[in-house]
Chains A and B, each alone.
Chain A
Amino acid sequence: MLTIHTSDQRWVDICAVEDLTPEAGCGALLEDQQVALFYLPNQPEQCFAIGNFDPLGGANVLSRGIVGNLGDRLVVASPLYKQHFDLRTGACLEDESVSVPCFSSRIVSGRVELATTLADNSSG
């Protein structure tokens, strides 16, 4: 997968791969940010992470949405009002002006790690 490493980015250990349920999401705490972490073992990236807060529904629920694809975009549908968010970019498919933050992820020896940046930390 394409991960852009910038100098102020750090990898944070989150959990073991076995803690995740395939084809579904769960909430994760990345320092003090709420993240929605999805495990799609059939995709090359395997793990995806975006902000958990649904800006349209106004609640921390995106981890509880159904994942799938619309055309060639991998998406999660918000469980509140069903808007789709792109798992690779955080963009909302229904409303271009809306997006959620997006985090890089990797699996290292059976552990899931998420990347964060100083910018994200400072605004959290």
Chain B
Amino acid sequence: MAEKQRLVVIGNGMVGHNLIEKLVENEAAQQYEITIFCEESRLAYDRVHLSEFFAGKSAEDLALTNGDLYRQNGITVRVGCAATEIDREQKIVVADNGDQTPYDMLVLATGSFPFVPPMPGHDRARCLVYRTIEDLEALTEAAAKSKVGAVVGGGLLGLGAAKAVKDLGLETHVIEFAPRLMAVQIDDGGSAILRSKIEALGVQVHTGKNTTEIVDGESAFHRMNFADGGHLETDLVLFSAGIRPQDALARSSGLELGERGGIVVNNQCQTSDPAIYAIGECALWSGRIFGLVAPGYQMAGVVASHLAGDVAAFTGADMSTKLKLMGVDVASIGDAHGNTEGSRSYIYSDQVDEVYKKIVVDAKGDKLLGAVLVGDAKEYGSLLQYMLNEIQLPEHPDDLILPQRDGSAAVGLGPDMLPETAMICSCHDVTKGAIVAAIDDGATDLPALKTCTRASTGCGGCAPLLKSLLDEELDKRGLEVNTDICEHFAYTRQDLYSLVRVGQIKTFGELLAKHGSGNGCELCKPAVGSILASCWNDYVLQKPHFGLQDTNDRYLANMQKDGTYSIVPRVPGGEITPDKLIALGQVAKEYDLYTKITGGQRVDLFGARMDQLPAIWSKLIDAGFETGHAYGKSLRTVKSCVGSTWCRYGVDDSAGLAVELEHRYKGLRSPHKLKFGVSGCTRECAEAQSKDIGIIATENGWNLYVCGNGGMRPRHGDLFATDLDKATLIQYIDRLLMFYVSNADRLQRTSVWMENLEGGLDYLRSVVIDDRLGINAELELQMQAVIDSYACEWKAAVEDPESVKRFSHFVNSDKGDSNVVFVRERDQIRPAVDAEKESAEPA
């Protein structure tokens, strides 16, 4: 076998890792013996989404690889090991532990480091930066001791960091040297709106401030003194004032550098030494550093093909970006400032809803040169395509940004109008042609398309465009994904929901006659049963509804393996009086039921025969209990912690709120079960972040988390809105839940539902908070109707002789089920196993 060439890569950041992926993909990885130096203590992770660490993502969630890629391809990674020297004469890299690694080819992917202005005091304790997971850990630790935080830098990274400081619960200040925020990407008009939106979120913005020194504070840990004589007291300073290329190795080994740093590269990303490449944020191409990930990936692509013996060239990269800064959409495309000669712009500014949009067009008004969008960036995708592909603008270019009020379709840009070469996903360099080819090869849904093209797995900005391209291509091919609920209805659950609501349909029979065929089955019947209950909230055991219910709903209890049932009375918020606790015990004792505390803060009584259920429930109802819906696709429990009433850390009455919410939403039938949690402070003893709806008390109100769950695929909830008063909190929950009920698939929990919503969390926010669909009033009314028509199903059942009759095990006998046999274990009953049954007497 021919000697393999030795390739050394220094840096395992986003771009260094991407290079390896590309080398594996184009199979050049086989030709080289590859060694990687990774200075950080972990393999490459997603720096772009670093802030999500504070929204509950773990280091594993952010990881770009679990190491399999390296192991499977025989690649050596030295984790936690920095390269300290390059001997270009002997072609050797020296590591911090003294190891020497020879190379034939070397790639520098060392990224950049945060720029910290060298003012006196910049190195005090609690003066931090924001680039690595370790930085975030240090920030969390410092924040725990702080009340006030100041971020130095009002650019893209600074505002991202400010959000983190805010989320950590600190009073937050942003200090910007320039007269406005995000001076590089957006213009004055956009900046003004951005500032006002950010200030409305409670972040204080100080522009035109030059910090001269940081000294001991009086009321806080630090005092920052400004050149204009003013000062700010803060407990923590976070520097986010730009980046500097990490070019120390190149400098010490004599490679050509730019005047202000950065490793000079040519179009093949080669440095002044042709055996050494530089890519990503350390590379200086044509006098420019690219501080975004997509250009870095393009450079990685160029080097990967060069190493494989092909020629490709880096010819610059588009720096357009779309971001969410503190919840505010901000996008900048191309020549955002209108610097091109003869260019002219159209501006739309709405100071009421705080939306700013500008497009810059060429002298003839034919082509789009740039754009700025603040407050609403939904046009980003199509505007970007207009610019990148030099598509002829419509007759009235301003139609592209003016609001559509008469219900007419927006003047967007259908994927149909794009050329094959149009870049759909710039993070991963995926063109329309490549996506169409993948669809031809059988990737006919979004997950498949994402896996095989990687489109939309980076910043996610291209997701809406990708989806509409897919839909259009499927449509063209006459392909349709079958989303029918079952053979009896050629509709999705969402369709059926609308048919029921709009057509005022009250029974399954009516729906089947009008819109279905056959007799139904165990898929459509419970789904329709649940829809009817969500819409009209009729008693689920009424004759026409009885047969639709799953056995658990039919008998208002959970069937166990031996055909007996368990009983879970509601214990709102987990709060229970001693009398009620005694009553539970008495009933359990009388009927000899196995008794267990559940994971949902209530008590479960097992081993009741069907025929015993009405009598047991009559007693429970007399003792003041209601059904707990443990059997239903409906609200289960609102888990609480004890909260400020007792707990020395509590900042609000979480138990009280939990009880209130449980009473409000009990009985709401939904596509899947719903669980809430309410915690009284950030210690989060109620585990609210693992619930569909999670609420955590703050000094200023309640933080709302949504779409979390435990179970088979645990997911932390996403922070949806902060510092809400109770009325707003309830309003948001009403809307969100009713939107879920109207919109989700059968047996789809809120997490999966939200992940599948086009536009995800942002879209959900825009519907629930900004009323993007104009349906909120309706959703609130629908919820109110459900709340107003609540009745305890068990109370209704025991009061109705017709219902009670259905609980007998035999229609023609009072006998019980002879196959139900118990034995005793740890002082309680349990179902007998087969061997035990043979020797035992029937129960």
Contacts and interface: CB of A to CB of B under 8 A. Distances in A.
A115 interface: no
A70 B550 contact: no
Given A27-B810, A65-B551, A80 B561 contact: yes
A29 B817 CA distance: 10
Contacts of B811: 14-15, 19-20, 26-28, 37
A37 B555 CA distance: 17
A111 B704 CA distance: 58
A66 B522 contact: yes
Contacts of A74: 519
Contacts of A107: none
B258 interface: no
B521 A70 contact: yes
A68 B518 contact: yes
B408 interface: no
A108 interface: no
Interface stretch (A2-10, A54-62, A97-105): A54-62
A21 to B, nearest CB: 5
B812 A60 contact: no
B813 A58 contact: no
B559 A61 contact: yes
B117 to A, nearest CB: 66
B519 A68 contact: yes
Given A19-B805, A59-B562, A24 B519 contact: no
Contact of B525 (A15, A34, A68, A80): A68
B656 interface: no
Interface string B775-819: 000000000000000000000000000000110111111010101
B543 interface: yes
Contacts of A53: 819
Interface string B541-566: 00110111111101100010111000
Nearest to A25: B547
Mostly, the A contact residues are strand
Contacts of B551: 61, 64-66, 79
A40 interface: yes
Interface string A39-67: 01010000000000100011111001111
A71 interface: yes
Given A37-B811, A60-B817, A68 B561 contact: no
B521 A28 contact: no
Instruction: Give the interface residue-count category, chain B.
Output: 35 or more
A66 B488 CA distance: 14
Interface string B494-524: 0000000000000000000000001111101
A79 B547 contact: no
A69 B517 CA distance: 10
Nearest to B803: A21
B550 A79 contact: yes
B815 A29 contact: yes
A58 B561 contact: yes
B559 A80 contact: yes
B837 to A, nearest CB: 10
Contacts of B546: 21, 23-24
A74 to B, nearest CB: 7
Interface in B814-835: 815, 817, 819, 834
Which of B520, B544, B812 counts the most chain A CB atoms within 10 A? B812
Interface in B623-662: none
Interface string A76-96: 010110100000000000000
Mostly, the B contact residues are loop
B445 interface: no
Interface residues of A, number: 36
Contact of B547 (A14, A21, A37, A70): A21
B812 A15 contact: yes
B607 to A, nearest CB: 13
A57 B561 contact: yes
Contact of A77 (B522, B549, B559, B563): B522
A67 B521 CA distance: 6
A22 B521 CA distance: 15
A61 B812 contact: no
A42 B544 CA distance: 14
A60 B609 CA distance: 11
B817 A24 contact: no
A66 B526 contact: yes
B551 to A, nearest CB: 3
Contacts of A70: 487, 521
A69 B519 CA distance: 6
Contact of A71 (B487, B522, B526, B806): B487
Contact of B812 (A28, A57, A64, A67): A28
B547 A67 contact: yes
A98 B383 CA distance: 62
A27 B554 CA distance: 14
A14 B525 CA distance: 28
A29 B525 CA distance: 27
Contacts of A69: 488, 518-521
B815 to A, nearest CB: 7
A71 B518 CA distance: 8
A29 B813 contact: yes
B521 A21 contact: no
B810 A28 contact: yes
Contact of A64 (B543, B554, B561, B810): B554
Contacts of A82: 522
A64 B555 contact: yes
Given A26-B811, A28-B811, A68 B488 contact: yes
Interface string B97-120: 000000000000000000000000
10 contacts: A26-B806, A29-B815, A64-B551, A66-B526, A66-B550, A68-B522, A69-B518, A69-B520, A69-B521, A74-B519
Interface of B: 487-488, 518-522, 524-526, 543-544, 546-552, 554-555, 559, 561-563, 610, 805-806, 808-813, 815, 817, 819, 834
Interface of A: 14-15, 19-24, 26-29, 34, 37, 40, 42, 53, 57-61, 64-71, 74-75, 77, 79-80, 82
